[in-house]
Chains A and B, each alone.
Chain A
Amino acid sequence: MASLGLIVGLTRREIRNRFNGTLSGGLWALLQPLLQLAIYSFVFVRIFNARVPEGSSIAYVPYLAVALWPWTAFSEAVVRASIVIQENAALIGKVAMPRQALVWASVGSSFIVHLAGFAAVVVVLWLLGQGVDPRGILPALLLYVPLFALAAGFAFLCAAMQVFVRDLAPLVTQLMPLLMFTAPIFYGSRQWPSNVQFLLHLNPYTTYAESFRALLLGMGAVDAGNVLVALAAAALVLFAGLWTFRRLDPHFEDFL
């Protein structure tokens, strides 16, 4: 694929963009999540006195961290990518290029940056003896694949429609916290009232949060059924996103 080189080039540029002008450069990618981790442990543990609800031996910070970092990658990828076509209007209007590459590169760079943060956090938690199971790291990374597909699907959908309806990106930005708080990230699934717990699984991220905790912290087992549904959902969303994007792609220039 000729555009693979282009995607790599654009991704590199996107990542460099984030750290351009900073003294420490790429070091920020590792430093920032660790700082964030320190702040969370202060705010949630010292101030809110948060405890892991299921009563296991896991501390709250690793409990939060393994679910929050993948979420950050997902939500940032969708939010950033939803404006990527609009942002690159100048490029699209003057250079013939596969526009899909822009979306892939945007989603990819968000995932690369936050995957690096995730790895740093997991390794630090493991070194600190916070109950991280190193055998879970590889499957956890594999779980990023459907998460990436899901994010890419939403990103293609939003990026294409944003060209036509500019209200979409602000709406997506508003919807993300809603999704975050309706997924078991800051709490556990069992804390929802039992009669509406099934609603939790309408949130596409729920399965991911539960599975990351199961894999890395040994909290419960990975529900194979849920994972299969999540895989199917990711494939479906990616397909729908690509279909919409391809359908609207020839008309971008008219509406940008």
Chain B
Amino acid sequence: MSDVLVRLQGLGKAYPKVHRGSDRIRALMRLLVRGVDKDRIEVLRDVSLEIRRGESLGLIGANGAGKSTLLKLISGVLTPTAGTVALNGEVGALLELGAGFHPDYSGRDNIALAAALHGITGAKLREFLPKIIEFADIGNYIDEPIKHYSSGMIVRLGFAVIATLKPDLLITDEVLAVGDESFQKKCIAWMQDYLDGGGTLILVSHSMYHVQKLCKQACWLRGGRIEMLGDVFDVTQAYLAWHERKSASDVAEPDRMHAGEFGVLSVALNGDDKKQVVLMNRGETLDVAMRLHSRDGRPPGVAVGIVRADGTAVYGVSAEMDGFHPMAIDPHEYECTLRFAELQLLPGSYVVRVHAMDTEGARIFDTLECGITVRGSSREFGFVQLPHRWLGGAEATS
């Protein structure tokens, strides 16, 4: 069951630059004479990956990263400019809502044509048709023209066709988002069933929940290249962290009130004072060691905060709140360590902020930030695990 179903090698796609009519004629001539056209804009570069039978891959990335282009290349709608796509089975693609449906025809007629596009005709179609109609579950609308359908009903129809045909490889592009709650559940249940039965899935979604639920692996595309490929939890976390950093850097940084009276000289997380992101596992202890500067020798106040990479506060505390003072190691330098034992931050990226304050703990004079990444996989939500217990039920036995 581990044969390779899809193999992409050095896959690249570039679109022609066609601004004026004359560009089109030039492109036509080049294609007819030489079979190639070189004046192009690259949207996908050097993508190589393998998907084995039974695997499930989530494709994530920002808008314009090349996700849809990659799907179209795999499904054969687009022709690659570079590299190869090797397929070893039937592909069913749900690239867009109601693709291939004609608005004037009834659902029944459209199913017939959609099936024909997948090579199902005649007796086989008669066998499939009732199953498709049953899965779509849109009642009497099946004999109404599609133009009277809601977008949810169109998705139902499209998904029903694919679900009944059971292709070796299923490719879907953010289609689930349109159906209503119960249909989404039905689709997800179907997909899980399909995966359990040895089906192979490539899913594009902006919902990390869906990706984590359905996929074991993920591929993060960024600017037309594979940024990261691997276990779904690692990749989605890295991707979310990147997003958070991106939106945080979009917001103007608060002014540093660096009057020079008090300052943060250095911060070391778990002994690491290089300006790198510190990796730790969930539940481990985090030591935040800091050295502070005081110009006139008065003891500085200090506060430590943990925020998500996007700036959302998780927890903050100052030495003054706890009635603690840093220790003086010379008249102008103080140091102390804050220990978070068994830190229950959920996997993800965070920033530790150390603030140097005046002795009264009223004003921030300086701030230093360090990044931490908590590794691990979890489907819990939020930033931190709260102590909890389920009561009045039974333990799941698996």
Residues in B neighbouring A13, C-beta threshold 8 A: 102, 105, 109, 113
Residues in B neighbouring A90, C-beta threshold 8 A: 99
Number of A interface residues, CB 8 Å?
31
| Shortest Cβ distance from residue B385 to the other chain A in the assembled complex, whole angstroms | 43
B119-131 to A contact mask, C-beta < 8 Å, 1/0:
1111000000000
Which residues of A from 195 to 236 have beta carbons under 8 Å from B? none
Are B79 and A250 neighbours in the complex by a CB distance under 8 Å? yes
| Shortest Cβ distance from residue A16 to the other chain B in the assembled complex, whole angstroms | 8
Q: Which listed segment binds A: B90-98, B223-231, B250-258, B268-276?
A: B90-98
Are A251 and B37 neighbours in the complex by a CB distance under 8 Å? yes
Tell me, yes or no, whether B112 is within 8 Å of chain A by CB.
yes
Tell me, yes or no, whether A54 is within 8 Å of chain B by CB.
no
Residues in A neighbouring B317, C-beta threshold 8 A: none
Determine which of B15, B24, B95, B119 lies in contact with A165 in the assembled complex, contact meaning CB atoms within 8 Å. Answer: B24
Tell me, yes or no, whether B35 is within 8 Å of chain A by CB.
yes
Additional 16 contacts, C-beta under 8 A, given A95-B99, A253-B79: A5-B116, A5-B122, A8-B116, A8-B121, A13-B113, A91-B99, A92-B77, A96-B75, A165-B25, A166-B24, A167-B21, A247-B31, A248-B28, A251-B79, A253-B72, A255-B18
| Shortest Cβ distance from residue B87 to the other chain A in the assembled complex, whole angstroms | 10
A237-256 to B contact mask, C-beta < 8 Å, 1/0:
00000001001101101110
| Shortest Cβ distance from residue A151 to the other chain B in the assembled complex, whole angstroms | 22
Are B121 and A248 neighbours in the complex by a CB distance under 8 Å? no
Task: Return 21 A-B CB contacts under 8 Å, by A number.
Answer: A2-B119, A5-B119, A5-B121, A6-B119, A8-B116, A13-B102, A17-B104, A91-B99, A93-B72, A94-B95, A94-B96, A95-B95, A96-B77, A96-B93, A97-B117, A164-B27, A165-B21, A247-B35, A251-B79, A255-B16, A255-B27
Tell me, yes or no, whether B64 is within 8 Å of chain A by CB.
no
Tell me, yes or no, whether A83 is within 8 Å of chain B by CB.
no
B63-100 to A contact mask, C-beta < 8 Å, 1/0:
00000000010011111000000000001010110011
How distant is the Cα of A95 from the Cα of B113 in the complex, in angstroms?
A: 12
How distant is the Cα of A92 from the Cα of B99 in the complex, in angstroms?
A: 9
Which residues of B from 2 to 35 have beta carbons under 8 Å from A? 15-16, 18, 21, 24-25, 27-28, 31-32, 35
Which residues of A from 149 to 191 have beta carbons under 8 Å from B? 161, 164-167
| Shortest Cβ distance from residue A42 to the other chain B in the assembled complex, whole angstroms | 35
Residues in B neighbouring A17, C-beta threshold 8 A: 104
User: What bracket does the count of chain B residues touching chain A fall in?
Assistant: 35 or more
- Chain A CB count within 10 A is highest, among B100, B113, B117, for B117
Are B24 and A255 neighbours in the complex by a CB distance under 8 Å? yes
Known: A247-B32, A254-B16. Is A95-B77 also a contact (CB below 8 A)? yes
Q: Give the nearest-CB partner of B28 in chain A.
A: A164
Q: Give the nearest-CB partner of B35 in chain A.
A: A247
| Shortest Cβ distance from residue B185 to the other chain A in the assembled complex, whole angstroms | 26
How distant is the Cα of A2 from the Cα of B75 in the complex, in angstroms?
A: 17
| Shortest Cβ distance from residue A226 to the other chain B in the assembled complex, whole angstroms | 31
Determine which of B16, B24, B77, B116 lies in contact with A93 in the assembled complex, contact meaning CB atoms within 8 Å. Answer: B77
Q: Give the nearest-CB partner of B79 in chain A.
A: A250
Q: Give the nearest-CB partner of A244 in chain B.
A: B32
Determine which of B28, B37, B93 lies in contact with A95 in the assembled complex, contact meaning CB atoms within 8 Å. Answer: B93
Tell me, yes or no, whether A139 is within 8 Å of chain B by CB.
no
Q: Give the nearest-CB partner of A92 in chain B.
A: B77
How distant is the Cα of A33 from the Cα of B32 in the complex, in angstroms?
A: 40
Q: Give the nearest-CB partner of B112 in chain A.
A: A9
Are A254 and B99 neighbours in the complex by a CB distance under 8 Å? no
Are A94 and B77 neighbours in the complex by a CB distance under 8 Å? yes
A1-12 to B contact mask, C-beta < 8 Å, 1/0:
011011011100
Q: Give the nearest-CB partner of A243 in chain B.
A: B32
Residues in B neighbouring A96, C-beta threshold 8 A: 75-77, 91, 93
Are A253 and B122 neighbours in the complex by a CB distance under 8 Å? no
How distant is the Cα of A251 from the Cα of B96 in the complex, in angstroms?
A: 20
